[in-house]
Amino acid sequence: MSSIDAIYRGQTALIVGAARSGIAAAGFLLERGARVILTDAKSEDVLAPSLAPLRAFAPASGELICELGGHRAETFRSCDFVVVSPGVPLSLPLFEESRRAGIPILAEVELASRHLRGRILGITGSNGKTTTTTLVTELLSGAGLRAFAAGNIGSPLISFVAASRPDDLYVTELSSFQLESIVTFRPLVGAILNLTPDHLDRYRDFAAYISAKERIFLNQTSDDFGVLNEDDPRTAALSGVIPSAPVLFSRRKEVARGAFVRAGRLIFRDDHGETDLFAAAEIRLKGGHNLENVLASCAIALLAGAAPGSLAGTIRGFAGVEHRLEWVAELGGVQYFNDSKATNVDATIKSLEAFPGNILLIAGGRDKGGDFVPLRPLVAERVKHLILIGEAAGKIRDALSDLVETSESSSMEEAVALAGRSASPGDVVLLAPACASFDMFQNYEHRGRVFKDVVHGLGRK
């Protein structure tokens, strides 16, 4: 029996939420002989396909009990510890049962970090996390290092524990939800890319959301690094208070320590002096926000041990990430772009800033408690037709329809078809919803795939 197995054998673990990270945590604990209770508000019919592998595996390892279609208060106060999925708010009243009983409530990344060999590079922020996580992983791999993308980007961190090695680097995309439930989690590099209002349907106010993000630095020491956006006042203000060594990035000015742009070239400055990395013109990604993502990525990769000379080749070949300002097609002289990952207002602002004008914008979905008024200047300046979908269509219409021709559509197919009929050569049809996707789609990836399928269908016609 391994030392990890000895910790969990005979323990009762309550997994709250049967999504990707919950399933992965359950598998990890079952393999180590734990008694796992998996609870989810969704029904057996909905969850059966994702639970089937766990049920097949359980008889040869630990014990699996599924409590589906709702939660039982007794379970929350009769386990040894709780692992909470990111999609489950800690404000759920049943968690008070665990707290009163003195039962620890852990994030899946917390559980993973206690047993993972290798070093963690944690990346959070309101926007740009996935692009930055992907790029850092590619920069490190291009430098000959063992690097893996983990967390919200795809594979849960817990899934890497068994095969992990001391020289591994785990580039981990972290949401504020995951950071709420860390206890000892400590990344070598913790990065906050930016802070703008988001998830206000889950947090009482913007300050509470920021506090959750700041927890990425909770257990760091002066031997670790905190990467912060000097151009974002809220993140820049943290440089004097975090326990780790601050490393800044800026596309607008030079920084004392970190990554910046000078005369069209990216520079990294540290205690050893300055290193010229490559020309900004070599970056293939559109938009000023993506220049920030590249600066942050280079800083993180260098802090993790990448050789400076190895970065340029990876940058030249990096075309971006699916659903993040992704070029889809050109039809009749009209360019179609998929930015389904723009799930908040600030992300949509950055998307609009990437184009000079003549935009037919498809927006809407499930409102996350955001204010759509900040979109007004760019909509007035650059959008020629606003096409709204989803539950938030009325709220967005009230905020913006006096500025631009506005239509509403009942489906993505209808919205894309309307955009295609209304567009002229030289225009851009842009999906940048400023909302969550769950009213009409499984997630933002599903929304983006549907958009692309409909656009390609127009092309075939």
For residue 56, the model assigns a pLDDT of 86
Q: What is the largest CA-CA distance in the chain?
A: 68
Q: pLDDT grade, residue 330 (50/70/90)? A: very high
For residue 448, the model assigns a pLDDT of 97
Q: pLDDT grade, residue 214 (50/70/90)? A: very high
Same domain, 312 and 356: no
Q: What is the pLDDT of residues 104-123, one digit of tens each?
A: 999 999 999 999 999 999 99
Same domain, 140 and 284: yes
Among residues of the chain, what percentage have pLDDT more than 90?
84
Give a yes or no: residue 373 inside a domain. yes
Asked about 199 being catalytic, the answer comes back as yes
Q: pLDDT grade, residue 17 (50/70/90)? A: very high
Same domain, 173 and 76: no
- CATH number at 248 reads 3.40.1190.10
Asked about 344 being catalytic, the answer comes back as no
Among residues of the chain, what percentage have pLDDT more than 70?
99
For residue 152, the model assigns a pLDDT of 84
For residue 351, the model assigns a pLDDT of 94
- The tally of domains found in the chain comes to 3
Give a yes or no: residue 23 inside a domain. yes
What is the DSSP track for 186-211? --SEEEE-------TTTSSSHHHHHH
**Do the beta carbons of residue 305 and residue 225 sit within 8 Å?**
no
Same domain, 147 and 248: yes
Same domain, 125 and 60: no
Q: pLDDT grade, residue 161 (50/70/90)? A: very high
For residue 286, the model assigns a pLDDT of 84
Q: pLDDT grade, residue 68 (50/70/90)? A: very high
- Segment 323-336 shows an average pLDDT of 94
Return the amino acid letter for 119.
R
For residue 148, the model assigns a pLDDT of 97
- Segment 218-245 shows an average pLDDT of 97
Same domain, 269 and 405: no
**What's the domain range around 83?**
9-103
- Segment 83-88 shows an average pLDDT of 90
- Segment 203-230 shows an average pLDDT of 94
Residue 460 has pLDDT above 90, yes or no: no
Same domain, 204 and 276: yes
Same domain, 125 and 245: yes
Select from 317, 352, 383 the last residue of a domain.
317
Residue 1 has pLDDT above 60, yes or no: no
For residue 113, the model assigns a pLDDT of 97
Q: What are the residues facing 359 on neighbouring strands?
A: 383, 428
- Segment 236-254 shows an average pLDDT of 97
Same domain, 125 and 251: yes
For residue 40, the model assigns a pLDDT of 95
Give a yes or no: residue 108 inside a domain. no
3-class DSSP assignment, residue 40: strand
For residue 261, the model assigns a pLDDT of 98
For residue 337, the model assigns a pLDDT of 96
Return the amino acid letter for 452.
K
For residue 153, the model assigns a pLDDT of 82
For residue 461, the model assigns a pLDDT of 73
CB contact set of 74 (below 8 Å; sequence gap of 6+): none
Give a yes or no: residue 4 inside a domain. no
Which secondary structure element, helix H or strand E, spans residue 293, and what is its range?
helix 288-303
CB contact set of 239 (below 8 Å; sequence gap of 6+): 226, 228, 230, 246, 248
For residue 83, the model assigns a pLDDT of 97
Give a yes or no: residue 1 inside a domain. no
- Segment 398-415 shows an average pLDDT of 97
Select from 103, 133, 157 the last residue of a domain.
103
Give a yes or no: residue 73 inside a domain. yes
Mean per-residue pLDDT of the chain: 94
For residue 87, the model assigns a pLDDT of 82
Q: What is the pTM of this model?
A: 0.83
Select from 269, 291, 317 the last residue of a domain.
317
Other beta carbons within 10 angstroms of residue 120's beta carbon come to 23
- Segment 195-207 shows an average pLDDT of 79
Between CA 148 and CA 447 the distance in angstroms is 26
Spot the catalytic one: 71, 115, 127, 152: 152
Spot the catalytic one: 71, 115, 127, 129: 129
Q: What is the pLDDT of residues 117-150, one digit of tens each?
A: 999 999 999 889 999 999 999 999 999 999 999 9
- Segment 224-240 shows an average pLDDT of 96
Same domain, 122 and 231: yes
DSSP assigned state of 282: G
For residue 5, the model assigns a pLDDT of 76
For residue 370, the model assigns a pLDDT of 81
Between CA 70 and CA 429 the distance in angstroms is 42
Q: pLDDT grade, residue 89 (50/70/90)? A: confident
Same domain, 120 and 25: no
Q: Give the distance from CA 17 to its chain's centroid.
A: 18
- CATH number at 337 reads 3.90.190.20
Same domain, 180 and 217: yes
- Segment 30-41 shows an average pLDDT of 95
- CATH number at 52 reads 3.40.50.720
Asked about 194 being catalytic, the answer comes back as no
Give a yes or no: residue 281 inside a domain. yes
Residue 183 has pLDDT above 80, yes or no: yes
- Segment 55-68 shows an average pLDDT of 86
